[in-house]
Structure 1
Amino acid sequence: MCQLEVTKCSFLLCLGMSIIICSVIYLRARIPTEPKPLEPSSCRPFPPSCKAFLPGNDKRIEWYHRDCKAESYILNSRLQCSNLTRDLHFITRPLSREEEDYPLAFIVTVHKELELFVRLFRAIYMPQNVYCIHVDAKAPRGYREAVQRLVSCFENTFLSSRSETVTYAGFSRLQADLNCMKDLAKSKIGWRKVVNLCGQDFPVKSNLELVQYLKSKEWRDRNMTPGVKQPVSMRHRTQLQHKEIIGSHVALKGLGLKKGPPPYNLQVYFGTAYYALTRAFVDFVLKNQIAQSLLEWSKDTFSPDEHYWVTLNHIKEAPGSHIDGGWAGAIRAIKWKDQEGRTHNGCKGRYVRDICIYGIGDLPWIINRNSMFANKFERNTFPEALDCLEQWHRNKVLSQATVPIDPSWLLAIQSNSSSSSNNSSSSSSSSRSYFNSSAEA
């Protein structure tokens, strides 16, 4: 009898402990936890020079990336979209009513550096916008499949229905944008303006700042195509016939065959290949006879994207035209080598084709200039410049939000280098509180 009681007590004790353990496991699974900081061995800290751009002045606090392997993550063919948007920290809700009421369209042409594209896309992504991604036809198959895998997770993002083999300074570069424009014209999203990007760009303005800038009094009903009447030094581009060696380069035809004059006696302008265009202007480009004739005439010119948009934007009949625009429009922060000492204090990274590949020392100039975007970045050459600008940009985006901040939107977390991992978790919490308090301000 006594033995039976002991056995019974032991059974009840084991049963009770099992129930307690199961309850604890169940509750831990149901209760959301704070995002945990990654170990320094997995995610390197930001360099000391970057701290000047991040909140907090405590020297003991280190900022750590939360995603160190964005490229390898995308290459995982078995990933689920719900995990991807969370683990790569995509913003999944409009951050303000103002942005929601003014959706933008983006054209992004890419061909290399998958991780750089992922980080660019994440920086500009908002669920109310629409995105057309043009992947160069000569890009490796694995690259295209990875981009397609990423894009398929977003209903408002798609690959261009037609891909070009893009040649530097060739007509194919202009055609790539036009392919996306045709696709965007069919979009059910009521986008207001379209902006074009390349894979080595990165935003400086937040989406809210882009909206406010593009609908400001100066630009509300206008296209932004910085440029001037074609200088004498550039006339050879459109006065001599060129041919595109597909995927290689652009060369003169023969010994310099002359072209006929532009159609409709148009004045040719010279400017940047980047723009911000109204939807009505895009319809004009796709349907108007003047635009189509200029396009046909431009096929054997050199770098036609640097004259096509700006020339059309100086036609009175074009919707949103800006006849006296000149170089107005803060579209790109670019350090040209021949402008050193005049518009900038030199490249802190390195020059490629007379354009600065930014180093971290260029960030103060980029931030103070406050253009829409900055160009160019290389992930493998100067990773710290991109890391720092990306975190600075996300801090700004979240601080301007008028909605509660989802913890998964944080790109980086803080940890106290002189404390235990428990203290690191509390630092993560304080980082989250920083953004929540900013959103409520």
Structure 2
Amino acid sequence: MWQLEGAKCSFLFCLGMSIIICSVIYLRASIPTAPKPSEPSSCRPFSTECKAVLPGTEIGVEWLRRDCQVESYILNSHLQCSNLTRELHFITRPLSREEEDYPLAFILTVHKELEVFVRLLRAIYMPQNVYCIHVDAKAPWEYQEAIRKLVSCFQNTFLSSHSETVTYAGFSRLQADVNCMRDLAKSKIGWRKVVNLCGQDFPVKSNLELVQYMQSKEWRDRNMTPGVKQPVSMRHRTELEHIEITGSHVVLKGMGLKKGPPPHNLQVYFGTAYYALTRPFVDFVLKSPIARDLLEWSIDTFSPDEHYWVTLNHVKEAPGSHINGDWEGDIRAIKWKDQEGNTHNGCKGHYVRDICIYGMEDLPWIIERNSMFANKFERDTFPEVLDCLEQWHRNKVLSQSTVPIEPSWLLATQSNSSSSSYFNSSARA
């Protein structure tokens, strides 16, 4: 009898333990848990050419990157925004009173190269500025979600209220900028000038240098739209009707139908698609019948963003207009294939659509030019170039700071000294 009772107790004990164990397994399987961010692999070391532009390397200082796999972090991370800004090394305070008193607006149109975009935003980000991000409507859903998640972490950064399906050389590219301008016009941040960027740009000047350049005697009250009267070789772009194949390309309409003349007897100019515009000029773009009529007339032209801004900036009534302007305004360092041997010594990476995708040996030229921005960069083909330029730029930004440096702002550390003390001593100098 005692043996039977003992067997019963053992059976009930085992049964109870089995139920508890199964319940725990079931609960752990049924309750969703946020996946942990993937552990970053070893950081890619700086290349030899890169070390030549980093401070201290001539006396044996080794720079060690802290920032790896930005793209996988954005795609996979479920961290809170406070962690995200710290882990991705965003600057979270204005670095000088001069910059705080002159906030800038940025328009970024993006469709690919997520990591390059994140690193671009990080490089130009300052809490006093404002950023409108236009994501191409045809970009992959995962890409759009990643940018939406990142943008939600910053009060001064937002997605454009209307997204275009952007076509290369099409009107949709110009419309994307105008959409962001409408949004920026409603911003409560008192931005002074707006600059447009694409996702494969990267800054060369620091935010402080941009502010000082835009407040210089030459540009204080002027718009920057480099360009000239439309050359004969470019007239087909605006004299013949074109049609945009949505999301693909632009072609001539029919056998080359002639367009009517531009509205208001405007002289058409040809220039870059990039600019730095005053806030009153943006109001002119959004409200003036001249600007509205030119925008509508430009719908069936080829690459209208290369004539629209520069043409309006030669209108006398436009605020901040530069009616005698030429190619002044060093907005972009670009190596065009047809300018090889003239303005540059050739592309050390490779050309895409006659524009250089920079290689490592292009770095000295970029830094020496000291333009506002450089274009273009790719992560997969020449990743070391962006590593180097980004670290060089962050070193410059922090060395100009008038406030103490936060440790999280450092993208790399020095092997034989405290990087934070290096930058703090630079800021006090």
Scaled by the length of structure 2, the TM-score of the pair is: 0.90
Aligned to 2:127: 127
Measure how far apart 1:78 and its partner are. 1.5
The aligned residue for residue 288 of structure 1 is 288
Q: In the alignment, does 2:414 pair up with 1:436?
A: no
The alpha-carbon deviation at position 60 of structure 1 amounts to 4.7
Distance 1:40 1:139, change over 3 A: closer
In the TM superposition, residue 49 of structure 1 has moved relative to its aligned partner by 1.1
1:235 matched residue in structure 2:
235
How large is the Cα RMSD of the aligned pairs? 1.2
Structure 1 residues 43-62: aligned runs within 5 Å: 43-58=43-58, 60-62=60-62
How far apart, CA to CA, are the structure 2 residues paired with 1:408 and 1:97? Answer: 21
1:3 maps to what in 2? none
Say whether 1:175 aligns with 2:175.
yes
- Residue 381 of structure 2: aligned partner: 381
Amino acid in the other structure paired with 2:378: E
CA contact (8 A) 1:40 1:64 kept: no
The residue that corresponds to 1:108 in the other structure is 108
Matches within 5 A, 1:308-323: 308-323=308-323
The 2-side partners of 1:75 and 1:430 are apart by 32
Q: Once superposed, which parts of structure 1, at least 4 consecutive aligned residues long, lie more than 4 Å away?
A: none
In structure 2, the residue matched to 1:194 is: 194
SS of 1:277 mapped into structure 2: strand
1:414, CA displacement in angstroms? 2.1
SS state at 2:105 partner: strand
Q: How does 1:248-263 map to 2 (within 5 A)?
A: 248-263=248-263
Identity fraction in percent: 84
Q: Is the 8 A contact 1:46 1:62 kept in 2?
A: no
Aligned residue pair count: 391
Matches of 2:59 and 2:44, distance apart in 1: 16
State the 1:109 CA deviation.
0.3
Are the equivalent residues in 1 in contact too, given 2:332–2:373 (CA < 8 A)? yes
- The alignment's TM-score, normalised by the length of structure 1, stands at 0.87
1:377-436 CA distance string (max 9 Å, x none): 001100111110000000000000000000110001122xxxxxxxxxxx3x52221101
Residues 312, 58 of structure 1: alpha-carbon distance in 2 compared, 3 angstrom cutoff: closer
Q: Give the Cα separation in 2 of the matches to 1:110 and 1:173.
A: 11
Indicate the SS of the match to 1:83: helix
The yes-or-no answer on 1:69 pairing with 2:69 is yes
Deviation at 1:42, TM superposition (A): 1.2
Displacement of 1:187 in angstroms is: 0.1
Q: Is this contact kept in 1: 2:40–2:69, CA < 8 A?
A: no
* Cα distance in structure 2, aligned partners of 1:62 and 1:80: 32
Q: Structure 2 unaligned segments of length 5 or more: list them.
A: 1-38
In 1, distance between residues paired with 2:399 and 2:422? 8
SS of residue paired to 1:133:
strand
In the alignment, is the contact (CA less than 8 A) between 1:44 and 1:64 conserved in 2? Answer: no
Cα distance in 1, alignment partners of residues 76 and 91 from structure 2: 21
Q: Deviations over 1:292-338 (max 9, x none)?
A: 00000000000000000000000000000001110000000000011
Q: Secondary structure at the match of 2:62?
A: strand
After TM superposition, give the deviation of residue 277 of structure 1 in Å.
0.2
